[in-house]
Every structure is written in C-alpha cells, then in structure tokens.
Structure 1
C-alpha cells in the first residue's frame, strides 16, 4: 500500500503546503495542473522534487476554479469534462517530458473527484481523456464497496485503477467521503488518523461516521501535508506502511 499527497498547490508568490518536507515520505505526488491551483513554474518545481525523491508523478486536474480551490462543482457537458482533463494532463505531461521524467497516473481533484464518484458518465469522460494519451496512464479513484461498474468500464477501456482511501477523512455508510461541512468529516486527531490507517492495513476496513464497518480494497492512502504536525504524522504513517 502506498502513500499519496496533493502537491504543487501554490500559485505565483502564494505558497501552500510543505512539499519539500512531505516528498521524501510519500510514494505518489498528485500535482495540481493550473486550474484549481498551481502554475507552470510551481508545476516544474514539484516535478523536480518528485524526481529527486523517486516519487511517482500524477496529474491532479480539477474544475477551473482557483477562487474556490476546485471544491465547487461546475456544470459541464461530458465532452467538456474530457476536454478539461485533457488540457490539464497534457500540460503536466509536457513539463514532465521537459524534466526528463514521466507522468504515471491521473487523480481528479476536489469537486471533480466527488462528481466522478457520483456520476459514472463523468468517470467515463475522464477515462476518455486518459486513453487519448496513447500510453497506459492509471486513474486514481475512491475505494468503495460498489465499484464493479467502474471496474468494468476501466477494463473495457484498458485503464488500470488505483483505489484510494483517505487517512484524515470520515466516510458515510455508502463509502463516499463525508461532506466537509458535516461535523467530524475531517479527522484532525493524530491517534484517530493512525487508527484508521492501521485498520485499513490490518482488516481492509474503515468505520463510517455512523459506526458501520465497510470492506475496502485499497492500493494507496491519501495524506495531507500542510503543516508541521501533518509532516510528523506522514512520517509515522510511512513507517507504519513500511512495517506492514
């Protein structure tokens, strides 16, 4: 099981996150592609950092919404979703080539990620974008108990899925992430976060907000590294996964 983290989320002189401190402790870097966050220079700096630490590079495309940090759904046709993702992934891919490295997967960001997990047609639109690149890009999606339709489509399109769980987010009974506005949706207690990850490792399950236990098949765990205490937590999770 791998650790992944959202990175490259600064813009111009505005910095967010602690990418230099996080990168040595994760396996996969989800790099913002300029729409919800990031710009070409930030993207290149993050690519170089990932290359230095031998971290897999993923594109993190989102809705064109810097003001809302990509966390607001924006109405698009399915064709527009495909174009939106192609545009951003191609930008990061070109910058990866410029730095002598390769893009390996795509993980939609924020509201686009949530919408993909609610509407299988949005998932198909994103998958269409990925297949246009002519080499096997993987697609990271939310690990849930009811993914057979998503898996069938991915198999038909020749796309390998990376199933993701979250270290610091609570789940509802359907296996979706609890909405951020809901009390307890974001876990901040270090022991709770470690307990959730350990449960995923030991039993391949997660407890929902209501107390239900859900079985999940997980390939990668998302962590967030935007403060010093988060960095310490990521180091501990890295050690936990290494031992496992």
Structure 2
C-alpha cells in the first residue's frame, strides 16, 4: 500500500529538502519513506501526521476515515480557514454556543476529530447543505422517505392532507407540495435549486413549444416566485410533509 507522504508534501508545494527541514528528518530518509523502501517508526509517523494535520492511518495509505466535505464547501465560499472560523463563530455566538478555534476546525476538516451533532447541524445550516452531505454521506433512507411522501401526496387526490404549514386540497396545492418535496431532495443532494429549477423551466418551455421571446417571457414569469425566501419556506413545508408521513 502506497503511503501519502509524497502526495501531502506536494500539496504543500514542498521539496523533500524543505520538508526535511520542517520535520527534522534527513532528505534521503524521507525519500525512502515516500518510496516505501523504509518504514518509519510509529513516533515518526506521528510526527509527520501532526505536521500534515492528518491521522496516522490516513498518512499510511488507509481509507478508514471517510473524508467529510468541510474543506470542499469552505473553498466554494472562497474562504481561508481563519475567515471561515471567524464567520462561523459569529453564528455560534448568536446561538449562545461556544466558539471554536482554528486548530479545532482544522482537525474537523481532516477527520481527526468530529463536531457534536448540534455543531454539525450549525455547520450544515451555515453552508446551506444537509448534515449527511457535509459528513460525506448521502442519507438514502431520508431520500427514500421523500420519494414515498411524494407518492403519497400524488396518489391521495380525495383525501385532505393537513400539516402545521399547509393544507393540500386542490390540484394546485398538490403540485406545490410535490415541488416543495423536490426542493428538499435537491437540498439533500446538494444541488443548486436555482439552476435545477431553471433547467426544468426551460424543458417545460420546450414541451409547450415556446421559442424566442415567448420562451424568455415564460421563464421570467415562472421564475418570479423562485426567491430565496420562498425556497426556505418551501423546505420547511416539505419537512412538515415528511413529519405527516411519519405520523401515519
């Protein structure tokens, strides 16, 4: 099994000589470690792992720690670790929660430690994704529940469905409810609801045979309600429908 010393060294833009200076290990010795011709002692593995801020098993080439998506999502925001921690701490303080340090967050990114469930939720809310997605997982059970709830709403056309957010009586109510559930599915899969909705609107315009200005006007008209405020409300309505499904 190939270790990840070379991979992590190159990610930092370091030569063998530079890395050796930083961890106090001879260049030739590091070269043998990288090629697998020599096995470091445990304390050396730990020294290198500490420097790269990863676990020893990960450095050795094992995949026992499934990487989360914190770094990926932070990079999408164009933020450094310190910028992210500063902004996230503002959210935590507003929620009367204890702020975090940069080293703590760094260890989360590298799957060396893990936040509490409550902090995972705050991270997911801040990054506007689901907890399962940010953890590097897809909650197939929850996705299945969304699909079954869509089926329930679509099939029961003669039965009133009432949640704490809405009542589904007419066909228009049913269409809105199904759209809300689809928005929740987009969120679970971390798909951008704006671009996904735009694609659907364009497909529908083609289905209706609209072209040119008629197509543009149609897309503008149906996009009016696709605001961020309506999106968030739609997600809450969808979650209420999931609760209704669970209550049956």
TM-score w.r.t. the length of structure 2 is 0.24
**Which structure shows the higher strand fraction?**
1
TM-score w.r.t. the length of structure 1 is 0.24
**Which structure shows the higher helix fraction?**
2
Whose radius of gyration is greater, 1 or 2? 2
